[in-house]
Amino acid sequence: MRNFFCLLFLIPIISIAQNTDSAWIVQNYIKKEVYIPMRDGVKLFTSVYIPKDVSEKHPILMTRTPYSCAPYGENEFRKFWRNHYKTYLKENFIMVIQDVRGRWMSEGEFVNIRPYLPNKKNKTDIDEASDTYDTIDWLIHNINNNNGNIGVFGISYPGFYTAMAALSNHPALKAVSPQAPVTDWFMGDDFHHNGAFFAMDAFAFYSSFGKPRPKPTTVGPTAFNYPIKDNYRFYLTTGALPNLTRLLGDSIAFWNDLMNHPNYNAWWQERNDRNFMQHILPGTASLVVGGLFDAEDCFGAWNLYKAIESNAKNNNKLVIGPWYHGQWASGNGTHLGNIYFNSNTADWYAQHIEIPYFNYYLKGIGTVDSIAEANIFFSGANEWHRFNAWPPDNTQPQPVYLEKNGVLSFLSKKEKAISYDEYISDPARPVPYTAGIHEYRTREYMDDDQRFAATRPDVLVYETPPLEEDITLAGPLMAHLKVSISTTDADFVVKLIDAFPEDFSYTIHQTYPMGGYEMLVRGEIMRGRYRNSFEKPEAFIPNVPTIVQYTMPDVAHTFKKGHKIMIQVQSSWFPLADRNPQQFIDIYHAKNSDFKKATIRVFHHDSYVQLPILPNFK
């Protein structure tokens, strides 16, 4: 009850602060709405917030977005005062937000993750990099009192446009910050993970976002009205993917693209912006930001950073905090779901990393000496750490083996006799991705309690004894399973879990029982047909032992002394990922009758998860 009254006390204070900031911004800024011409004649709608102060020249900080630069109207201001963006206005940044080509009030045709064209030959060869170049050039020459320095930042899809901005190579572009960037919608971002289709997110997104916009408008699309409010039951009842396609109709172009490009072919590969990072000019600084528990684009942040680091010759930095998608811009990074981080990590990031970064590169003030190559928050330990490289140079790969009787061991108990665990994977009763009833996909599932799954007969559970000392992981995981299946295809989900002691509790007031909590640290799915090639899928030979190996996104986590390391293995993760019919057929055009049960065997000793252990970590 005390916490409730404290909250009631804080609400008026927060409201007063926001009202004060909003009044200051409106009094000290003017807003202009302009159409900026591109090289092919298309004009892009752009909102420009300009400080009234003319005592000095000001830098420009821009976001390009498909989600609208609303509110529209020069007397209507965006609510910058709701998070740390208000600091940029207090420091007299020129703030620019642009509707990308073909979205909202901008002219032209919208193309999802429009491919980058490295060799443009004429004015009709356009991409998001060229649109960014033309926008920057216009702003520099037409917005009074700018200092000639531009930065670009954006979260999620705007993170993709920020990476494209880095490829624009305009000399005025000094710094970019792709945050939770979309990079590869087949391998790990949003709509596929290792070839497994994330139907729930894709359907929820494209049933509204994907609707055609025939002409510029300030009115957004309507959302899909789900007839069943329990998403597990809705997707199970709807059935095979063609049934979802029928619900959408024929107008959602990119959904149809998803249905007709089942494998990682050239169509997908040219939409992977990581393939082009070598074209970034050496002078463009980059700050890649992401969340350990980002349900949408966890893959993108880790892997865009690595692509830039491997291919570009620029000043490239990485920041990963304990956040859901975009939580670092929410103002509150104290916890996610039931897991608490002992500090406001979002505020710390804003004040110590992002704001100093743009102040240094765009205004020439302050320093970035405190921003390391890799600035990583370790869950479990609840601490920020700084590294000269990511993964850290001294990380040591260590397998933990799946053994008999649910044992997870750092030593393989190799025996002559073949042994395995077995379960029935039934598409009619897929394993849910989280407990409870939900209308929409939750973001908290990324660190949710996994005890609900451990009770199912189609989920295998392996755990170590209580740890005698802390073990810290830093880098990507690798799952290596030796399996057999009774059919010709199956999915495999591997989950790394921190099993808390039975007497664990937080010092803060909390109603959820944390004793014995099984915290998801990282989970990932692999569509088995892609075990040897994402371009050329292969059927399984029924009942023949086969290796399925895949890389899981990076982790930064400390398993504390007294906790246990747990691995869970299953073959569905529903409705997060679509169900595999467990036959080697075209899943995107399957029928309800195509779904079959499969007997799955996971062989001991030869099945393991390789952990990136950071020794002597303090």
Rounded to an integer, the average pLDDT of 107-129 is 97
pLDDT at 376 over 70: yes
Decide yes or no: CATH 3.40.50.300 for domain 23-184+271-387: no
By CB neighbour count within 10 A (0-12 exposed, 13-18 middle, 19+ buried), where does 436 fall?
Answer: exposed
pLDDT of residue 237: 98
pLDDT at 55 over 60: yes
Q: For residue 52, which amino acid is it?
A: K
pLDDT of residue 283: 86
Backbone angles phi, psi at 487, to 5 degrees: -120, -155
pLDDT at 15 over 70: no
Per-residue tokens: 450: 């996994």
DSSP 180: S
pLDDT of residue 287: 98
Whether a cis peptide bond, with omega within 30° of 0, leads into 391 is yes
pLDDT at 306 over 60: yes
pLDDT of residue 9: 46
- Asked if residues 454 and 423 have their Cβ atoms less than 8 Å apart, the reply is no
Cβ neighbors of 441 (< 8 A, separation 6 or more) are 200, 201, 204, 231, 295, 576
Whether a cis peptide bond, with omega within 30° of 0, leads into 221 is no
What is the C-alpha separation between 605 and 117, in angstroms, rounded? Answer: 48
What is the C-alpha separation between 175 and 149, in angstroms, rounded? Answer: 9
pLDDT at 291 over 50: yes
Decide yes or no: CATH 1.10.10.60 for domain 396-613: no
pTM of the model: 0.95
Confidence band for 6, pLDDT divided at 50, 70 and 90: very low
pLDDT of residue 5: 38
Angle at 100 between CA 97 and CA 104, to 5 degrees: 90
Lowest mean pLDDT among 44-48, 324-328, 506-510, 603-607: 506-510
What is the C-alpha separation between 37 and 62, in angstroms, rounded? Answer: 17
Per-residue tokens: 290: 């992401």
pLDDT of residue 7: 43
Q: For residue 79, which amino acid is it?
A: K
Going from N- to C-terminal start, the domains of the chain cover 23-184+271-387, 396-613
What is the C-alpha separation between 442 and 35, in angstroms, rounded? Answer: 38
